[in-house]
Amino acid sequence: MSPPKARPQGKLKPRRPSLRANTLRQSLQHIETDSAHHLAGPFRPQTPLDAQFNSPVRSPSTVLDPFNSISHGLWKDIKSNRWVIVPASSFKLLLITVVLWCNWELLAPHVAPELSNPFAPLLFISHPVPDSPPHDPRYAKGYLDLVFIAFYVVFWSFWRQIVTLHFARPAGQWFGIKKEAKLARFGEQAYAVAYFGIMGAWGIRIMSQLPTWWYRTEYFWIDYPHWQMVPELKCYYLIQASYWCQQLIVLLLNLEKPRKDYTELVAHHFVTLWLVGWSYLINLTLIGNAVYVSMDVPDVFLALSKIANYIQYDRLKVVLYIVFVCIWTYFRHWLNLVILWSVWTEFDLMPETSKRWSPEDGVWMVWWMKYQIFTPIMLLHFLNVFWYILILRIGVRALRVEEFTKIKDDRSDDEDEDEDKED
């Protein structure tokens, strides 16, 4: 038997598809183009032969690039959710609302003076208590609070991109940060310093005007229900709610590089929104303000310590790390435990008339509400303990290697070690 002939070297001629394959391909193409075909739509073939025509399976949705702030037009940006990352589009949405409000204020007195401005609830808090004195007004909650939150979700989207792109990014480049991943992280932390610095100071100011000043926890419950809010407290509460809604959008749209603690961050945002919404609904805004303060103040120092790490100011980051750990321990653990202890032991300090389920009277405190209040705060505390362990690991690792320049922040940075060995 003669040996088989060796194949000639070089490129092989492409095999011509068989008549049967051509016929099947043409049939499948007909299905794709004929909308009346019985296999069109969701029943069309999912694995087309040789991929000779567009696959009916949708490609995965692309992740929005927070640095790509080029507008595709306002309407297209709205439909594609790009308004979240395009400051020009979010600014237009804000400006349209302000212009409409201004036009109504200017024209309505001459046309329909009896009508209130329908755009005012977007910009300003609503539902004043009718019988409260003009010099010391009080506000209740209501459905118009939702449109106020929606407007400020757009505001925070605009302000976040302005801070990260137009302030933090040039500052990071000036400090010598070149890698895109670190510039993104630097921008996130600069925005966190700005937000939590303002809201932490504002929360402390509001608490100083309340009977709960510096965690006099018995006043969380005495004289409940606290349904008549001073204007500043209501505005503060709704602004916080809008911020956390916007942050959840940032996470769900992957506007930040995924982190090791992504799942914990999503859980944290859901628990926070649970606390915000539930405490607002059942008139526990005094305890809500206390929780906010305990969370916001340490976040300022967390962000500052991370910024010092990014710009490699060794002595500064050591000092900030020590200060941050002390503040985090006091605010996020000790004060959180103080709040939990109050829920568990002081719940019954409220008036007996409030221990019933009567939403029309503003009271909700049946016996099982103690556990409904205790549970989300405890969940928040568990998340804080998880992060506390990671934070302390940074210090332990620093003591082992005796230099902070090689430390990687396990709490939130997940850059590749080959890209960011200096973290």
- How confident is the model over 149-168, as pLDDT tens digits? 999 999 999 999 999 999 99
- Render pLDDT for 294-339 as a digit per residue (tens, 0 to 9): 999 999 999 999 999 888 888 888 899 999 999 999 999 999 999 9
Strands (E), 98-150: none
CA angle 49, 51, 52 (to 5 degrees): 95
**Residue in the structure block whose two tokens are 């794709």:** 32
Q: Three-class SS of residue 6? A: coil
In the structure, what pLDDT confidence band is assigned to residue 126 with cuts at 50, 70 and 90?
Answer: very high
Q: Which residues contact 370 (CB under 8 A, 6 or more apart)?
A: 343, 344, 347
Predicted confidence at residue 67, as pLDDT, reads: 62
Inform me whether the pLDDT recorded for 54 exceeds 90. no
Band of the pLDDT at 410, cuts 50, 70, 90?
Answer: low
Q: Where are the domains of the chain?
A: 74-122, 133-406
If pLDDT is split at 50, 70 and 90, which confidence band does 415 have?
very low
Q: Which of 102-116, 307-321, 393-407 has the lowest mean pLDDT?
A: 393-407
Between 112 and 41, the more confident residue is 112
Query: Which tens digits make up the pLDDT trace of 8-24?
Result: 554 445 555 555 555 54
Written as one letter, the residue type at 359 is P
Place of tokens 């790009």: 82
- Helix, strand, coil in percent for the chain, rounding step 5: 65, 0, 35
Give 128's strand partners: 139
Find out whether the peptide bond into 225 is cis, omega within 30 degrees of 0: yes
pLDDT at site 180: 86
Q: Write the CB contacts of 138 (distance below 8 Å, at least 6 apart in sequence).
A: 128, 129, 132, 228, 229, 230
Report the pLDDT value the prediction gives residue 342, as an integer from 0 to 100: 96
Q: Locate tokens 């389920």: which residue? A: 357
Please check the confidence at residue 60 and state whether its pLDDT lies above 60: no
DSSP letter for each residue of 251-291: HHTT-S---TTHHHHHHHHHHHHHHHHHHHHTT-HHHHHHH
DSSP tag of 348: G
Concatenating the DSSP letter of every residue in 18-65 gives PHHHHHHHHHHHHHHH-TTSTT-GGGS-SS-GGG-S--SSPPPPPPP-
- Amino acid of residue 224: Y
Q: Per residue in 227-261, pLDDT tens?
A: 889 999 999 999 999 999 998 888 888 776 666 66
Residue 31 pLDDT = 44
Region of 223 please: left (phi>0), alpha (psi -120 to 50) or beta.
left
Mean pLDDT, rounded, of the chain: 81
Amino acid at 108: A
- Average pLDDT value for residue range 344-355: 92
pTM of the predicted protein model:
0.77
Burial string for 209-230 (b: 16+ CB within 10 Å, else e) reads ebebeebebebbbeebbbbbbb
- Could you tell me which residues come within 8 angstroms of residue 420 by beta carbon, excluding any fewer than 6 positions away? 179, 181, 182, 408, 413
pLDDT of residue 252: 81
Confidence at residue 257, expressed as pLDDT on a 0 to 100 scale: 65
Find out whether 241 and 273 touch, Cβ atoms under 8 Å: yes
Residues 132, 218 contacting (CB under 8 angstroms): no
Count the neighbouring beta carbons within 10 Å of the beta carbon of residue 358: 13
Residues 310, 397 contacting (CB under 8 angstroms): no
pLDDT for residue 86 is more than 50: yes
Rounded Cα distance between 102 and 168, Å, is: 33
C-alpha to C-alpha distance for 302 and 191, rounded to whole angstroms: 12
Give phi and psi for 17, each to the nearest 5: -65, 145
If one compares 357 and 268, the residue with the highest pLDDT of the two is 357
Which region, left, alpha or beta, applies to residue 251 given φ > 0 means left and ψ of -120 to 50 means alpha? alpha
Structure confidence at residue 338 (pLDDT): 96
| The pLDDT value given to residue 48 | 37
In the block, tokens 């302005």 appear at 162
Tell me: pLDDT of 66 over 70: no
pLDDT of residue 3: 52
**Of all residues in the chain, what percent carry a pLDDT higher than 90?**
48
Q: What is the pLDDT of residues 164-200, one digit of tens each?
A: 999 999 999 999 988 888 898 899 999 999 999 999 9
Judge whether 350 and 363 are in contact, CB under 8 Å.
no
